[in-house]
Amino acid sequence: MGSPAVVTSAVVTCPMGAAPATLTVLPTSRVLVEGRPVATVRDMIPLLNIATFGMCMSPANPTVAAATAAALGVLVPMPCVPVLSAPWLPGSAKTLVGGAPATLQSSTCQCAYGGVVQVVVPGATKTMIG
């Protein structure tokens, strides 16, 4: 059995971020599930597909590291701008959308600052993909 389809308005989180974000999927593939565009593994562009997670708490983030150093080692969160360089993995082995594998609820995306972005609410409630 599959999992619910990941569509625009899905909720994603990063353990280094202070707040969840909403996934935005542009309707370029023209494939809709429950009236919303379906996400593919390519829908991982920061600030276009994946919004900010509020404040970043990763010491690997240069702005967090600098602010923390200025505060004599006390962690100082700074505004989050995800740095994602690879697609969502794993993608669906069975479902292609516009020639790319669909994003699964179990898919994750790695941030260069150490966070792992994951889908917590896929958006679709009735449509399953595998």
What are the tens digits of pLDDT across the range 1-29?
678 899 999 999 999 999 999 999 999 88
The pLDDT score that the predictor gives to residue 36 is: 95
Q: How confident is the model at residue 130 (pLDDT cuts 50, 70, 90)?
A: confident
How far is 78 from 7, CA to CA, in rounded Å?
Answer: 29
* Pairing state between β 89-97 and 100-110: antiparallel
53: tokens are 């997670």
Class of domain 3-53+81-124: mainly beta
Whether the model pTM is above 0.85: yes
Would you tell me how many other CB atoms lie within 10 Å of the CB of residue 71?
A: 10
Distance CA 114, CA 120 (A): 18
Name 71's Cβ contacts closer than 8 Å, sequence gap at least 6.
none
